[in-house]
Structure 1
Amino acid sequence: MKTVILGSGNVAYHLAKAFTEKNIPIVQVFGRNEAALKEISSLFNIPHSTSVLADADLYLIAVKDDAVAIVSEEITKKDCLVAHTSGSLPKEILKGNYRKASFYPLQTFSKTKNLVYEEIPIFIESDDAGDLEILKNLAANITEKIVLSTYEKRKYLHLTAVFACNFVNHLYARAQQLADEQQIPFEYFWPLIEETTLKIKELPPKEAQTGPAVRNDLRILQLHEELISDENSLEIYRTMNQSIKKMYEL
């Protein structure tokens, strides 16, 4: 099956890498960023283009959400399957007379970070049983965690991912700011972060919660607020503690 990846960002990069490692041929990476396309092309020996879209049976659109509809108009072939990789868009966002689907890998992607692709769940959606099999067979080359989904379910998957990943990472960034201000190496906190992550594989997060808010330790909470000089960080600190207190009805 001829497959083209449209896009040159983090998701496109990792799809190209994952498929190449499993000897799944990609006939082209297509997009507008010549430099990024050349990087993918040279690393994984995949032809690239910014102007002429190759003929394929399957087109995977891995671009920012606000560009999916526009990029999908580049595909004029009718007898093909087109799937986007977004967690928050319906497959109907795709513009064309081709068959439409979604192929959503639930993971955070950075080009500089290696991933264990076998551990990544991929959520697929299509109205056609044959197309579902095509996507399942493709995903099976890189992971055993393949889940049939719907747009309604995928929206909540993506929302949950924002809480579990993007918000948590932002708190890491805020924590590092505090550490840097006091010249405390952030690496001191790595074992704590790792243990916190490992713990929720054995305990529900609600049961794993520790800290001054869940204990309703008002003295420490007040002390911490006095130590925070940045208004944004102080607002986050107060909001998080109120959320914790409310969850445990303190």
Structure 2
Amino acid sequence: MKTVIIGSGNVAYHLAKAFKQSQLGVSQLFARNAKELSKISVELGIPYSTDFLEDADLYLIAVSDSAVADVSSLIKKENALVAHTSGSLPIEVLNGRYRKASFYPLQTFSKTKELDYSKIPFFIEAENQIDEKYLSELASIISENVETSDYEKRKYIHLTAVFACNFTNHLFAKAKEIADAQGLPFRYFIPLIDETVEKIHYLEPKAAQTGPAVRGDERILKLHEALITDEEQLKIYKLMNESIKKMYHL
């Protein structure tokens, strides 16, 4: 099938790269950001356009959630298959008379970070079984981990991902703020972060928890609170420790 990928951000870039590496054809990249689109096109050798949307059999929309409906209305080919890549939108948001679907890769994407696409879970939803089977087979060429998922399941997958990824990374950023303020190289903490993540491959996250809150060590908790001068950091510190205590009934 002739495929067009719409978007020029992190997801669009990696989706196009995954297709390229898997020897799946992409006939066009389409987006409004000519500068970013040109970079992707040069790197991957895929033609692009900012004003002409080519006719295709499959359109994959990899834009921000707020733009999906408007972008999807640009597709006029009624017998096309159109899939968004969002974890938090139903397929009904797609605004056209074509066949609708979702092609959701569960991963955090940055253009400068290489990824092993074969390990990324893909969650597929379509209006009919034929399209669902086709998209599942397509994703299976890229990844070893492909499942079907309706919107009710997918939105909770996305919510869980925000806790597991976005919130965790924000805490890394806050930790670096504290380290930077004290002249501590953040590289000191990389082995600790790596071990924390590695452990949950073998242990339930609850069983892997360590630290003063889970031990009920009020002396250290109060000491840390006294050291924190930033109001937002202190609020996060207290909130996280109270949540840990509740989980372990302390």
TM class by smaller structure: over 0.9
Q: What's 1:249 paired with?
A: 249
The alpha-carbon deviation at position 127 of structure 1 amounts to 2.2
Deviation by residue 1:178-215 (Cα, 9 ceiling, x = unmatched) = 00011000001000000000000100000000000000
Q: What's 1:37 paired with?
A: 37
- C-alpha distance in 2, partners of 1:22/1:97? 30
Q: What's 1:56 paired with?
A: 56
Q: Which amino acid aligns with 1:170?
A: H
Detail structure 1 runs of 4+ shifted over 6 Å in the superposition. Answer: none
The alpha-carbon deviation at position 11 of structure 1 amounts to 0.2
Partner secondary structure for residue 202 of structure 2: coil
Deviation by residue 1:29-54 (Cα, 9 ceiling, x = unmatched) = 00100011101111111110011101
- C-alpha distance in 2, partners of 1:19/1:6? 13
Partner secondary structure for residue 240 of structure 2: helix
Partner secondary structure for residue 141 of structure 1: helix
TM-score (norm 2): 0.99
Q: Which amino acid aligns with 1:105?
A: P
- C-alpha distance in 1, partners of 2:22/2:105? 16
Partner secondary structure for residue 123 of structure 1: strand
Q: Which amino acid aligns with 1:155?
A: K
Q: Which amino acid aligns with 1:129?
A: Q
Q: Which amino acid aligns with 1:238?
A: K
Partner secondary structure for residue 142 of structure 2: coil
Q: What's 1:186 paired with?
A: 186
Runs (5+) with no aligned partner, structure 2? none
- C-alpha distance in 1, partners of 2:160/2:223? 32
- C-alpha distance in 2, partners of 1:78/1:144? 31
Q: Which amino acid aligns with 1:18?
A: A
Q: What's 2:211 paired with?
A: 211
Deviation by residue 1:65-118 (Cα, 9 ceiling, x = unmatched) = 000000001100001100000000000000000000000000000000000100
Q: What's 2:116 paired with?
A: 116
- C-alpha distance in 1, partners of 2:185/2:40? 35
The alpha-carbon deviation at position 140 of structure 1 amounts to 1.1
The alpha-carbon deviation at position 141 of structure 1 amounts to 1.3
Runs (5+) with no aligned partner, structure 1? none
Partner secondary structure for residue 59 of structure 1: strand
Matches within 5 A, 1:83-122: 83-122=83-122
Task: Tell whether 2:202 aligns with 1:202.
Answer: yes
The alpha-carbon deviation at position 137 of structure 1 amounts to 1.6
Q: Please, what is the CA RMSD of the aligned residues?
A: 0.5
Q: What's 2:65 paired with?
A: 65
Q: What's 2:238 paired with?
A: 238
Q: What's 2:14 paired with?
A: 14
Deviation by residue 1:110-167 (Cα, 9 ceiling, x = unmatched) = 0000001000000000121110111012101110100110100000000000000000
- C-alpha distance in 1, partners of 2:178/2:114? 28
The alpha-carbon deviation at position 10 of structure 1 amounts to 0.2
Matches within 5 A, 1:155-166: 155-166=155-166
